[in-house]
Amino acid sequence: MQKATSVGTGMAKFQELDAKWQQAWRDVKLFEAEPDKRPKFYLTVAYPYVSGPMHVGHGRTYTVPDVIARYKRMRGFNVLFPMAYHFTGTPIVGAAKRVARREPEFVKVLTERYGVAESELSEFENPHHFAAHFARESDLSYRKGMEWLGYSIDWRREFTTVDPHYQKFITWQYRKLYDAGLIVKGKHPVKWCPRCGNPVTDHDLLEGEGVGIVEFTLLKYRAGEYILPAATLRPETVFGVTNLWLNPDVKYVSAQVGSERWIVSEQAVEKLRQQGYSVEEVSPIRIDFSWEVEVPLTHKHVSILPAKFVDPESATGVVGSVPSHAPYDHVALLELQMHPEALKPYGISPQAVAELKPISLIEAEGFGESPAIDVVNRMGIKNQTDPKLEEATAEVYRNEFAKGRMREWVSKYGGMPVSRAKLAVRDDMLADNEAATIYEFSAKPVVCRCNTPVTVKIVEDQWFLNYADEGWKEKARGCLARMDLVPPETRGQFAHTINWLHEWPCTRNIGMGTPAPWDPKWMIESLSDSTIYMAYYTIVHILKTIDPAKLTDEVFDYVFHGKGDAALISSTTDIPQETLEQMRREFEYWYPLDYRMSANELIPNHLTFHIFHHALIFPDRCPRGIVSFGIAVLEGEKMSSSKGNIIAINEAVRKYGADTVRLYLMSTVEPWQDLDWRTNEVEAMQRNLERFYSLAESIIVPPAAKRPSFAQPERWMLSRLQEHIRVATEALDAFETRKAAQHVFFQLMHDLRWYTKRARQPKARTHMLKRVLEVWLRLLAPFTPHICENLWERMGGSGFISAAPWPKVEEGLVDKGAELIESYLRRVLEDVGKILRVTKVKKPKRVCLYVAQDWKWQTYRIAMKRVGEGKVDLGALLREIGETLGLRLHKSDLSKFLQQTVKELRGMPSEELEILETIETDELQILLEAADFIREQLNVKEVRVFKADDAARYDPQDRARLAVPMRPAIFIE
RNA sequence: GCGGGGGUAGCCAAGUCAGGUCAAAGGCGCCAGAUUUAGGGUCUGGUCCCGAAGGGGUUCGCAGGUUCGAAUCCUGUCCCCCGCACCA
């Protein structure tokens, strides 16, 4: 059976077109960008981290800049769109390790899903090989995917972040930062696997993904020579301590910590060591519950009481009791007070326990004296093993932290919001050596892939980028203020991030990357080496021709800052002077970057770093704008590439063709919205494109007619075309790919269908369709370049459509009157259709249309004028019309009609009113001309049109009286 | 908690800044008709409810308010999503 589409087996055909045109572009180096006289447009998108295949999310991320690049090129810009690969970082190293361990699940994904041969596995133990494979080698790789999608990338500038040239560039940059005093040394807690001897990232975890590290303050309670360090998240509550809790079932030890003698749970010892405490000489100790301890800061003396809820695994196993504000403490105390016999084994006086009263030190709106007691009572919690206590604690903490204030009696901190007092108390106590710090996971367990429990380790010697530096922040703010942000809502996020960002650890001791120039045992961390590489793109293709050993700081200083003398640098480095000058010219031509594109989840780090580093290194060449993308999901579900449940974009391209995938990705949502890949919609898109292709062919094939005269349908079509050009242009200028694609594909298709139905003269039609197609192809070219190139060639367009000029709106062809007439006809057809449906008449014999009589039209026009002017005095208007028309007989008809008319006109938007006013419409003429068309559309034998007051009209039901201007009365037989 | 985004018909999603053309674009799905009639493709029409004449009713998370008029403005309220770092 013959297929309606002449694409034949459409899919195969599209793939052929893809390959053909990609080769053609390559052959003429169409996308290799060199500085010239044209205005430039330079855009980049975050280079991919090549830890796996390119999936549909990446497809969207990279198609947006390509569409924009193609659009700008057609607008006459010299466009630079480069691409590179990010190798730096731990996940690739982690993946290689997983291969080395032959983790079955991962190996399975690699071999069965990602097409890696078993025999090659050993090579994938090398992280560099792993990355290179997914960067360029694999059929699922980024390079292939991007080529198959027809991206207009200048591939000469491709590089990886571990290339020696790039490392020279990073070294240059980091020496600058170091010299500026923005690299500072410090320590910070990391997740650490004792067995691997390495920090671990979430990717390396078997269990505990997403678990955070929280900072506890250790309050130093003193008991003679001993110190009992009680861990708390709320140091400000020290003023409400009534006693200390220890768990009688726990093994406690006494340990020499620095110059102090600490008592902690046995489990805490290793933790303290990991966290940089020098712990020596540990011996078991029996807790004597008769001790009194001195509370730090307040110097009160309190007793030690037994409590089961105290967890030896959590922090130090020593806990201070603040019953007024900690539900656990309140319940534990209550239990002891109700069961004094439990105190006997410990030799504690029940009398003393009974006298313990909660001390309230925080007031919070919506709570009474003691929030902890309120909440415990409300939840009906009776004992300290009740799991609801967690929730109660969270509720009290949340409310007190957010809304609480320290009570006035609390010396020094009285009246302070809890959120501030917490830090103030902590800092004061730390300064006086009355407290220390310990880190703990926010949830347990956390287990490394090697099946070892992960601990918190304090890494000493860590190097930080000092984003806390106020001067730097100020520069970044200045840069931000000058930038165009898409979508604009992201501005607040950026501003907030600049304020909030502080020291960022910029070195790591594992993974691939560039050694820190001032301390080469460390590697520059992967986000930190990706902040200004957009500048590197401008010269990389030239740099590649130079021996990296020659790339001294002087070279980069010259190229990027114009510092020094080219001839001199040439003589010391042996780089030809012309080469140096050429690089300088390239940089000066392309920089600043016009738009940076990346995922909006990178605003809190990468994108803001990008601003910081530019503000410092290229203060006069800050990027002009940032576009932030949404994420992508699959059939409404999240993707996971480590589990292999992704749609590899390369496979999708092979299956549906590049243009189908591109248009789908661009037309469903705007770039900053979340994309949902739905297979059935992609398939529908493919059919749509095939339909478009065969429609285009059917337009191209018949020989062109000489320019015939245009009638209403032609005028309408041309006017609509202008509208689509206008909207698409505006949309693409604002990165609204969806809006643009909707107009240039779907809406234009709709209009063209209407036109083909409406067109009466075959010659005019052939001519018009060709004329529309010529524009249409150019409008679609950024989205579906392969198909458009092919059709462009077929219809004899000159050169590549990729290099053709973008269509311009021809104001002279905008014809609001023509548009009004068509929407009028549509309305008439709709009304008739509605009547047919309601009356369930299937095959009408005859349709009669009655156009409003002159007096109604005259009234209408006068009313229109008055309404357009603003206020309407119905009475005055009535008199005015009565006088003008000299009508007496239908006074009541007139007033009724006028009322309706005014109401209707008032509801009309002023724009439409204006058009109506200015355009001479002869309704009768319009309908007479369109009668044939209406007859065809309704599939009736006869359509008759009358004036409503035509005495000779055929009107058995006297419908004509219902006629109103722009709404003819209808009679159906 | 802090910061950001969002709730529109079966699903996705425009429309909200600049109130009226909005029963609300477009896509998907579904239904019907047409097609030298394959349950495929293509084309046409329909797709909140009622209606044998183009009409009426009820809708845009929920509750109020402003207005001749509210999906759009204001107030309150409920719910959902994302980020909060050392890492891509």
A335 and A296 housed in the same domain: yes
Confidence of residue A1 (pLDDT cuts 50, 70, 90): very low
- The CATH number covering residue A414 comes to 3.90.740.10
User: Is A350 within the bounds of a domain?
Assistant: yes
pLDDT of residue A210: 64
Kind of pairing, strands A625-629 and A484-486? parallel
Q: How far is the CA of A704 from the C1' of B43 (A)?
A: 25
Do A245 and A344 sit in the same domain of this protein? yes
Strand B nucleotides where any atom sits below 7 Å of a protein CB: 1-6, 12-14, 20-21, 25-29, 37-38, 40-46, 51-55, 68, 82-88
Parent domain of A758: 679-817
- Which whole-number Å values give the CA distances from A170 to A128, A160, A178, in the listed order? 19, 12, 12
ipTM of the complex: 0.93
pLDDT attached to residue A9: 43
For A522-579, write each residue's pLDDT tens digit.
999 999 999 999 999 999 999 999 999 999 999 999 999 999 999 999 999 999 999 9
Q: Distance in angstroms, CA of A911 to C1' of B8?
A: 26
Kindly report the number of other CB atoms within 10 A of residue A35's CB atom: 16
Which amino acid is present at A473?
A: K
Residues 239-278/A with CB < 7 A to strand B: none
Rounded to whole angstroms, what are the CA distances from A621 to A35, A611, A625?
A: 17, 11, 12
Q: When comparing pLDDT for A622 and A889, which is higher? A: A622
A502 beta carbon to strand B: under 7 Å: yes
**Residue A752 binned pLDDT confidence (cut-offs 50, 70, 90):** very high
Domain end marker among A423, A441, A459? A441
**Lowest mean pLDDT, pick from A251-265, A396-410, A565-579, A818-832:** A396-410
Same domain, yes or no: A425 and A284: yes
Report the distance from CA of residue A972 to the C1' of nucleotide B68 in Å, as an integer: 36
Alpha-carbon span A820 to A922, nearest angstrom: 12
Are A324 and A283 members of one domain? yes
| Residues A871, A933 within the same domain | yes
Q: Give the number of C-alpha atoms closer than 13 A to the C-alpha of residue A612, restricted to the C-beta side.
A: 34
* pLDDT (tens digit per residue) in A665-715: 999 889 988 888 988 899 999 999 999 998 999 999 888 777 788 899 999
3-class secondary structure per residue, A541-585:
HHHCCCCHHHCCHHHHHHHHHCCCCHHHHHHHHCCCHHHHHHHHH
- A80 in a structural domain: no
Q: Number of folded domains in chain A?
A: 4
CA A634 to C1' B8, in angstroms, rounded, equals 23
Q: In what order do the strands lie in the sheet with A595-599?
A: A78-80, A40-45, A595-599, A625-629, A484-486
Looking at residue A14, its pLDDT comes to 86
> What amino acid occupies position A32?
E
Point out the domain boundary residue: A441, A474, A496.
A441
The answer to whether position A935 is within a domain reads: yes
Same domain, yes or no: A379 and A231? yes
Burial pattern A579-596, b for ≥16 Cβ within 10 A else e, equals: bbeebbebbebbbebbbb
Q: What is the pLDDT of residue A820?
A: 87
Tell me what pLDDT residue A887 has: 60
Domain with A694 in it: what CATH number?
Answer: 1.10.730.10
Domain membership of residue A1 (yes or no) is: no
Q: What is the CA radius of gyration of chain A?
A: 38
Residue-wise pLDDT tens digits, A69-87: 999 999 999 999 999 999 9
- Positions 73-102 of A with beta carbon below 7 A from strand B are 86, 88-91
Strand B close to A161 by CB, under 7 A:
no
User: Does residue A471 surpass a pLDDT of 50?
Assistant: yes
Cβ of A973 < 7 Å from strand B?
A: yes
Task: For residues A765 and A705, give the distance between their C-alpha atoms in angstroms, rounded to a whole number.
Answer: 9
- For residue A735, give the 3-state DSSP assignment: coil
Question: A496 beta carbon < 7 A from strand B?
Answer: yes
- Quick check: A1 CB within 7 A of strand B? yes
Say what the pLDDT of residue A176 is.
Answer: 95
* Tens digits of residue pLDDT in A763-803: 899 999 999 999 999 999 999 999 999 999 999 989 999 99
pLDDT at residue A91 in the model: 85
On whether both A259 and A331 belong to a single domain, the answer is yes
Residue A637 CA and nucleotide B62 C1' are separated, in Å, by 28
- Nearest C-alpha neighbor of A603 from the set A709, A514, A506, A501: A501
**Residues A496-511: tens digit of each pLDDT:** 899 888 889 898 887 8
Which nucleotide, over all strands, has the C1' atom closest to the CA of A468? B85
Do A812 and A868 lie in one domain? The reply is: no
Domain boundary, last residue among A402, A425, A441: A441
Residues A254 and A369 in one domain: yes
Nucleotide nearest A747 (Cα, C1'): B26
Pairing of strands A301-306, A243-246: parallel
The answer as to whether A649 is a domain residue is no
Co-location of A888 and A950 in the same domain = yes
In the predicted structure, residue A494 carries a pLDDT above the cut 50: yes
Q: Which residue is nearest to nucleotide B44 (CA to C1')?
A: A937
How many angstroms from the chain centroid is the CA of residue A921? 49
Question: What is the token pair recorded at A11?
Answer: 């899919």
Distance CA A797 to C1' B65 in A = 60
Q: Does residue A785 sit in the same domain as residue A848?
A: no
Q: Which residue is nearest to nucleotide B20 (CA to C1')?
A: A907
Would A2 be classed as within a structural domain?
no
Closest nucleotide relative to residue A636's CA, C1' based:
B12
- Based on the fold, state whether residues A319 and A354 are members of the same structural domain: yes
Classify residue A899: in a domain, yes or no: yes
**A524 lies in some domain:** no
